[in-house]
Chains A and B, each alone.
Chain A
Amino acid sequence: MSVDEINPLIHVPARLRIMATLAALPVGDNLSFTRLQEMIGLSAGNLITHLRKLEDANYINTEKSGLGQSSRTQVVVTKRGREALDAYTATLRELIEGF
């Protein structure tokens, strides 16, 4: 097992924190963008960029409701995202044990 096998999409501090935070919720639950931003501590623009990358990989889904200024976005980790995070965690464990 080498460092090259680490999932590069998740292996970025901000996205790792996003995935870990969303995965801490029970399956079937989603989190508002505002609460996620508050918990992660990123700026809105920065968070959106990371969420977009994760969504492109189908690790998360976003759902927008409402219109205009009152619109809200909910973010949920997908099954694929949870599996990717589990695989990433297993890879880290193997690398650390192998050191």
Chain B
Amino acid sequence: MQIALDFVWQSRLTLWHKPKWESEMDQGNKTEKTPLADEDEQLGPRAAAELLAQTTNQAKRQFDEWPPYLLFIGAVIFLFVYGVVWMSVRGQHPYLGPSGGALAALYGGIVVWIITVVVVLQRARGGVSGRSAQQRRTYSAGWIVIVLAYSTFQGALYHAGASHAIVYGVYPASVVWLFAGTAFVTIGVIREQSPPLALGIAFMAIGLVGAFAGPVVGWLVSGIGISVALASFGVVRIVKRRA
């Protein structure tokens, strides 16, 4: 018995069973066959274990939001910009604050750092959604509040008549790291993670030491301290990756 071909009926059948991922398939080759040759590939236990370890490590590296090189870049940036500011305030009696050029270098360096962090984070987070994405939005809002609070309090100090040594010295050189350190300690405690907790404690310690060092040396202490802290964390992350 011959069955007449009914292309209208057949096309309806095809549309009914339209693959769920058709839009993604459209991005590739629609006529491509999928032989799945690897189904027949003999994979020994050792080779499988190696492939599993290799794939896991590669994936973790690609999802890593704070790769070691980012921390090393941060170390160099902060050492440079804080060093420039320290050079501009060295020998000031009375303390007046950083020069315009030094401030430009400071803010320029911070902008470069922020842009670098955003680029790296976007690359790591690309395509990832879910609980951690929601957490990050919350943390971002928190950071904005902290920056606003820090800046507003500096204004309050100025308004209260605090000296230049405090408003443009100790506060931006050292107290800023107390704010940042508190934030990281809080993140570490909430997430029960030791890296942000340790980094937060380091930042707070640097801020306190810098505050006691005064408005001039505080810039030097913070620059070296933050640089060493970030570089050390970079080294720790490299060692942990290799372990």
Contacts and interface: CB of A to CB of B under 8 A. Distances in A.
Contact of B62 (A14, A33, A39, A44): A39
Interface residues of B, number: 39
* Chain A interface helix/strand/loop/mixed: helix
Contacts of A13: 38, 41, 43, 51
Interface in B19-64: 19-21, 23-29, 32-34, 36, 38-39, 41, 43, 45-46, 48-49, 51-52, 55-56, 58-60, 62-63
Contacts of B126: 32, 35
Contacts of B26: 69
Given A30-B130, A35-B128, A49-B34, A92 B28 contact: no
* Chain B interface helix/strand/loop/mixed: helix
Task: Count chain A CB atoms within 10 A of each CB in B23, B24, B32 and give the residue with the most.
Answer: B24
B23 A14 contact: no
A80 interface: no
B131 interface: yes
A23 B55 CA distance: 10
B138 interface: no
Contact of A16 (B23, B36, B52, B62): B52
Kindly state the interface size class of chain A when it binds its partner: 35 or more
Nearest to B40: A12
A96 B45 contact: yes
A72 B127 CA distance: 10
A28 B130 contact: yes
Nearest to B55: A20
Contacts of A12: 38-39, 41, 43
Nearest to B53: A20
Given A13-B51, A21-B55, 7 more contacts: A26-B132, A28-B131, A39-B58, A45-B34, A46-B36, A73-B24, A74-B129
Interface of A: 3, 6, 11-14, 16-17, 20-21, 23-39, 43-46, 48-51, 62, 64, 68-74, 76, 89, 92-93, 95-96, 99
20 contacts: A12-B38, A17-B55, A20-B55, A24-B59, A25-B128, A26-B131, A27-B131, A28-B130, A29-B132, A30-B130, A32-B126, A33-B24, A46-B34, A48-B24, A64-B21, A89-B49, A92-B45, A92-B48, A96-B45, A99-B45
